[in-house]
Structure 1
Amino acid sequence: MISFFRKIRNLPAGKAGKMADDNRPLKYARYAIGEIVLVVIGILIALSINNWNSDRIDSIKEQSLLKELKSDYLSNIKEIEVTLNQMITQQEAYEKIFDYFDNDKPVDSTLQKCFELIQGIGVFNSANTTYKFIETNGINLLSNSEIRKDATILYDEYFSNIVIRRNNHYDLIKNNLMPFIKREFRSSSVYYKGNNITRLILNVPINFEELRENIEFRNTLVEIYDYTLIRKVALEKTLKLLNEKIMTLEENILE
């Protein structure tokens, strides 16, 4: 059929016109329809090629985003592990302090070190470059709705809560614990000799027996200790979720 149309199309203009003049409308109609069909087929093929090329480019961009998102997740895992280890260290420090309080143990270097450790809060810096790009430019490039949902939950909920809890922890230490440290302890101090740092005083309670009986101080320690445990559990939960979501990313990354 197409061969026939091509033959008709290649006829000289006079012949084609003669077909119409010779009262052969059916052949002329076939010729015209053939021209239209060929044009439509050409357009469809061009659109198909264009769509295929566009899909290929989008697929390349998506794979790049998935790899970058995985890299950010791995960076966040390292950050969370560091903070989690700090919370575990603080938990142990609080428990040792309570042991000294409850069992009338004398002040020693271990207790002094514990009082130093509980003043930290741990720092979490979220790696979010890829997520910010996805938010503003590339959300439609992620064809997997589960991955889009995972990223939103992790950054807008879990990582955000980590920062909020860190700030709350800082406020508890600054507003509740540090007034006692400043009032009831000989503060830590250091001096420099060349490139060496020597510690002179390490958080020594001025009167540990009175401090041991101070209910307000004890309650302050318990409050911050409890919040440390809350942060620890939240960090562990986030760490577990992150590892699960990395597995989901790996299933969608083409090697």
Structure 2
Amino acid sequence: MLRFFRSLRQKLLAESRVSRYFAYAVGEIVLVMVGILLALQVNNWNEERKQRQVELKYFNNLKNDLNADLESLDYMLGLAADKVKAAKRVKRNSDLDSIGSLYDFSNDLLALIFVDEFRPNNNTYEEMKSSGNFSSIQNDSLKLKLMNLGKSYIGIEAAQEHMRYDFNVFLEDFEKYVDWGKYFNLGRSDIPKLDLVYDSVYIARHKDVMEKEVRELYKSKVFLNNVFLLEINYTYNIETLKSTKSQIGEIIDILNRELD
């Protein structure tokens, strides 16, 4: 093809047909420019396709992380609900000056004292930010929702840090009144799994003493105030966790549309 154009150009020059040569030359330049533009377009298309493949890989990993977060949030919601119920029962019994069952009392205190925290699976999100791929996401709505979810995670962590302090005060005051270790047979308990076995023989023999400890505990304003704070904090926490679940659900819907 190039040999043909070269011979045609030489023929036109030899025949002194300058005007036709110029027309040919312009056409040849246009042809070259079109070829360059097409090559650039193909290159851009290939780059966009590669970037899209990277984006979709991140989206799939994000979806997996968020589904894991949903499971964790459901678990945390269950814990928070148990704590609110336990706090209400302890408050009600203290108001009625009722011990009830020492086992029920101990179970309520276990619910209040057992602590676990939500830790988001945000490795993919952090990797996207550190690698610069987050800014290249084409879906602006998705970017905004991911940033807002990040703020919600920070809020949850701040609330958990606050509750750590309240918990420590609660536990310290509780231990002043109740010798809680006497309730359990630690030799038969599976402590790593928090599978605690009650020492029913000891409880039966020392029932009066143990009930007296609980009555003294119910007189502690510090203890009762902290039970109240636990109820308030975990009630608020439930709403925060539910709101975060809704945010994640919206993001997963967008990711599903992108992946489809």
Structure 1, residues 196-238: CA drift from partner, whole Å, max 9, x if none? 9644479x56522232233232122112221121211111111
Greater helix share, 1 or 2? 2
- CA drift of 1:190 comes to 4.1
Counterpart in 2 of 1:93?
86
2:258 is equivalent to residue 243 of structure 1: no
Is structure 2 residue 149 aligned with structure 1 residue 154? yes
Q: Is the 8 A contact 2:60 2:259 kept in 1?
A: yes
C-alpha distance in 1 between matches for 2:39 and 2:118: 51
2:8 maps to which of 6, 11, 16: 11
Work out whether residues 93 and 117 of structure 1, in 8 Å CA contact, stay in contact via their aligned partners in 2. Answer: yes
Cα distance in 2 between the residues matched to 1:86 and 1:206: 29
1:67 maps onto 2:64 in alignment? no
TM-score (norm 1): 0.86
Instruction: Determine which of 145, 157, 160 is the counterpart of 1:163.
Output: 157
Identity fraction in percent: 20
Q: 1:48-98 CA deviation, whole Å, 9 max, x = no partner?
A: 111111121122222222111111111111111111110001111111111
2:135 is paired with a residue whose SS is helix
* Alignment gaps of 5+ in structure 1: none
Which of 223, 226, 236 aligns to 1:230? It is 236
Consecutive unaligned residues of structure 2, counting only runs of 5 or more, are 204-209
Match of 2:138 in 1: 143
Higher mean C-alpha deviation, range 209-218 or range 120-129: 209-218
SS at match of 1:118: helix
State how many pairs are aligned.
244
3-state SS of 1:126 partner: coil
User: What is the alpha-carbon root mean square deviation over aligned residues?
Assistant: 2.6
1:113 pairs with one of 99, 107, 111:
107
| Larger strand fraction of residues | 1
Calculate the TM-score normalised by the size of structure 2: 0.84
Is the Cα contact below 8 Å between 1:185 and 1:206 reproduced in 2?
no
- The whole-number CA distance in structure 2 between the counterparts of 1:76 and 1:205 is 42
> Are 1:8 and 1:31, in contact at CA under 8 Å, matched by a contact in 2?
no
